[in-house]
Amino acid sequence: MPVEIPKEKWPGSVLTVTLGALPSEGGTRKRVVTVGGETTLPFLHFEGEIPNPPVVAIEIKDRKPDDWSPLLLEAWKDVIDDPAQWAAAAEAAGADLIVLALSLTNRNGEPTTPEEAVANVKAVLGATGLPLIVLGPGQAEVDNTLLVAVSEATKGERLALGICEDKNYRTIVATAMANGHLVIARTPMDVNLAKQLNILISDMGLPLNCILMDPTTGALGYGIEYGYSVMERLRLAALQGDKMTQLPMIVTPGFEAWKAKESKVGEGVPKAWGDWLSRAINWETLTALTLIEAGADIVVLRHPESVKRVKAAIEELMAAKTLVS
């Protein structure tokens, strides 16, 4: 009995964005990473192209973090005091990309200076051949000062700089444009806000293929369903041809999941929560896998075991390609 499978004819597609630049392109990376380019919904190989698999980034800090779960400190204990070693360990753990999140203060509790930020970024670039994303500490003025210094000192590397938000994007976009970098645009779980910020940024003259969008997510149990649906809606809009939603999506399940009590706390919790370490890793893995089903192009993770599992799943999702051609 022949069955005709309904297929959608999508007029639009996701843009491709490349992170990192090889020496021949003016950078120093040994490998670049290209994301995006989908012409259908996640992994529906029977209907369109998924030219680039989603990738996994590992988040590292410029110094030992103050507020991370003890389980994460344990997982990275040998390298946690040195961003360069940490980056190399992250690469060895299977990362496709490194995210370096700068801290507000340095080891001694003093405000991080632009010189320190630059030195740490350079050390990381020296320790790994992977493309790099650099995030400011999350306070507008500090972000601008640190990121401008980093951007200028790494001209041509095609880093991705973040976070651009509606209240603070001009300085970051301007320095990215001047120095050949990309930016990350984050909006709080809303299709129209995402479009608006993308318009504002591209109006400044930064080409759309230099922007990644972060639609914001929540952890499993803490609002993931809102982020999940906004991502599905953004991807549908992109495929329907809405230009300002056609950017690849980056999300931070690692940050969100490791903020949850389920990952942070090992004692005094219900017995039904099970073993702490397994539960915490499952929390991060499940959050990330769910977002990949919703269309994430880059997931930023924290624990090496989650990285392994998520990468294995992506491989299996992509392997199905050969079954339809």
Partner 1 sequence: MALTGIQIYKLLPQTNCKECGFPTCLAFAMKLAAKQVELSACPYVSEEAKAQLEESAAPPIRLITLKSNGYEVKAGNEVVMFRHEKTFYNKPGLFVKLQSSALEEEVKSLAKRIHDYCVNYVGIELQVDGFAVEDDTHQPDKLKATLAAIRSVSNKPVMIFSDYPENLGPALEQLDNEVPLIGCATSDNWEKFADLAKRFKAALAVKADQIETLAELTEKIKGKGVEDLVLVPMGKNLGHELMLQTQLRRLALKANYRPVGYPTLAFCSSQAQMVQAIAKYAGFLVLDAFAEDLLYPLLVLRQNIYTDPQKPIQVQPGLYEINNPQPTDPVLVTTNFSITYFSVANEVESSGYPAHLLVTDAEGMSVLTAWAAGKFDAERIAKAVRAANLEEKITRKRLVLPGAVAVLSGEVEAELPGWEVRVGPREAVDIPKFYKQVLQVN
- Residue 306, judged by CB atoms within 10 A of its CB (0-12, 13-18, 19+), counts as buried
From ligand B12, partner 1, none, interface partner of 145 (C-beta below 5 to 8 A by class) = none
1 binds partner 1 (CB under 8 A): yes
216 binds ligand B12 (CB under 6 A): yes
Helix segments in the chain, DSSP class H: 70-75, 83-92, 114-127, 140-153, 170-179, 191-203, 224-239, 253-257, 261-264, 276-293, 304-319
Site string for ligand B12, 250-289 (x = CB under 6 A): ------x---------------------------------
The window from 9-17, 56-64, 217-225, 236-244 that contacts ligand B12 (CB under 6 A) reads 217-225
Q: Using an 8 Å Cβ cutoff, are 59 and 302 in contact?
A: yes
From ligand B12, partner 1, none, interface partner of 190 (C-beta below 5 to 8 A by class) = ligand B12
Q: Using an 8 Å Cβ cutoff, are 117 and 62 in contact?
A: yes
In the 3-class helix/strand/coil scheme, how is 60-102 assigned residue by residue? EECCCCCCCCHHHHHHCCCCCCCHHHHHHHHHHCCCCEEEEEC
Q: Using an 8 Å Cβ cutoff, are 180 and 28 in contact?
A: no
Which member of 12, 94, 223, 266 binds partner 1 (CB under 8 A)? Answer: 223
Minimal distance in Å, beta carbon 279 to partner 1?
4
- Residue 62, judged by CB atoms within 10 A of its CB (0-12, 13-18, 19+), counts as buried
86 binds partner 1 (CB under 8 A): no
Which member of 11, 188, 241, 274 binds ligand B12 (CB under 6 A)? Answer: 188
Minimal distance in Å, beta carbon 299 to ligand B12?
15
293 binds ligand B12 (CB under 6 A): no
DSSP letter for 184, please: E
Considering CB under 6 A, how many residues would be counted as binding ligand B12? 10
Minimal distance in Å, beta carbon 269 to ligand B12?
14
Q: Which residues contact ligand B12 by CB under 6 A? A: 188-190, 193, 216, 218, 222-223, 226, 256
